[in-house]
C-alpha cells in the first residue's frame, strides 16, 4: 500500500463557472485556470499520482496545452485512474477537504462524492469530501480563492 497527498489552489474570478468535484456550484465567481480549475479534483489527482510515484498533474497535463483548455477535470481524473491501472495500482480510498469561506458547500458534498467515485470506478464509501473555512484568514478567508487538500491510499493489485 502507498499513500499520497495533494494540494491545489486557484483564485476566484468573475465570469467563470465554479466547478468542484466535477459539479457546477451556483456562485457569482468561478475559479481561474487553464482547465475548469476544479481544485478538489486536482488535489485528488496529485495525491493519486504521488502515491504511485508518477509525478504531478503539471507533468501529465501541462498548463498551456490546447488539449486541456477548459477540459473537465473529471476527464483528467479518469486518465489518472487509467495510469494507475497501467502501473498495477487500485484506489483504496480518498479523503479530501475544500477550504472556502463562500459558497456554503454542504448541500453539494454528496453529489461530489458520487461524481468522483464514478470517475475512479470506486464506491461512494471510498470517497470522503469535507468542506471547511479558514476562519476569515488568508486568501481563502478573504474570498480571493479556494484551496483543497487530498490524501489517497492505493494498493498494488498483485498484493
Secondary structure string (H, E, C) spanning 91-153: EEEEEEEEECCCCCCHHHHHHHHHHHHHHHCCCHHHEEEEEECCCCCHHHHCCCEEEEEEEEE
Cβ atoms within 10 Å of 34's Cβ, excluding its own:
16
pLDDT score recorded for residue 27: 96
Cell digits of residue 116: 468522483
pLDDT score recorded for residue 159: 67
Q: What gap in Å lies between CA 114 and CA 22, rounded to an integer?
A: 10
pLDDT confidence band for 76 (50 / 70 / 90):
very high
User: Is residue 21 scored above 90 in pLDDT?
Assistant: yes
Domains identified in the chain and CATH numbers: 2-156 (3.30.1330.50)
The C-alpha angle with vertex 112 and arms to 145 and 11, in degrees rounded to 5, equals 10
For the segment 78-106, what is each residue's pLDDT rounded down to a tens digit?
999 999 999 999 999 999 999 999 999 99
Least confident span in 18-22, 66-70, 121-125, 154-158: 66-70
Q: Which helix (H) or strand (E) holds 89?
A: strand 89-99
Residues 6+ apart with CB under 8 A from 136: 101, 142
For the segment 45-69, what is each residue's pLDDT rounded down to a tens digit?
999 999 999 999 999 998 888 888 8
Report pTM: 0.95
Cβ-in-10-Å burial (0-12, 13-18, 19+) of 95 comes to middle
Cβ atoms within 10 Å of 33's Cβ, excluding its own:
21
Amino acid at each position: 500500500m502507498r499513500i499520497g497527498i495533494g494540494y491545489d489552489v486557484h483564485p476566484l474570478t468573475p465570469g467563470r463557472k465554479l466547478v468542484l468535484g466535477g459539479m457546477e456550484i451556483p456562485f457569482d465567481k468561478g475559479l481561474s485556470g487553464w482547465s475548469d480549475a476544479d481544485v478538489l479534483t486536482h488535489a485528488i489527482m496529485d495525491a493519486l499520482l504521488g502515491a504511485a510515484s508518477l509525478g504531478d498533474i503539471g507533468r501529465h497535463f501541462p498548463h498551456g496545452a490546447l488539449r486541456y483548455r477548459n477540459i473537465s477535470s473529471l476527464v483528467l481524473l479518469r486518465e489518472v485512474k487509467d495510469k494507475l491501472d497501467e502501473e498495477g495500482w487500485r484506489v483504496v480510498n480518498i479523503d479530501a477537504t475544500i477550504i472556502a469561506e463562500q459558497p456554503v458547500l454542504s448541500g453539494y458534498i454528496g453529489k461530489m462524492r458520487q461524481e468522483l467515485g464514478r470517475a475512479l470506478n470506486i464506491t461512494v464509501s471510498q470517497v470522503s469530501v469535507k468542506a471547511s473555512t479558514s476562519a476569515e484568514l488568508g486568501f481563502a478567508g478573504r474570498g480571493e480563492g479556494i484551496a483543497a487538500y487530498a490524501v489517497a491510499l492505493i494498493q498494488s493489485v498483485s498484493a
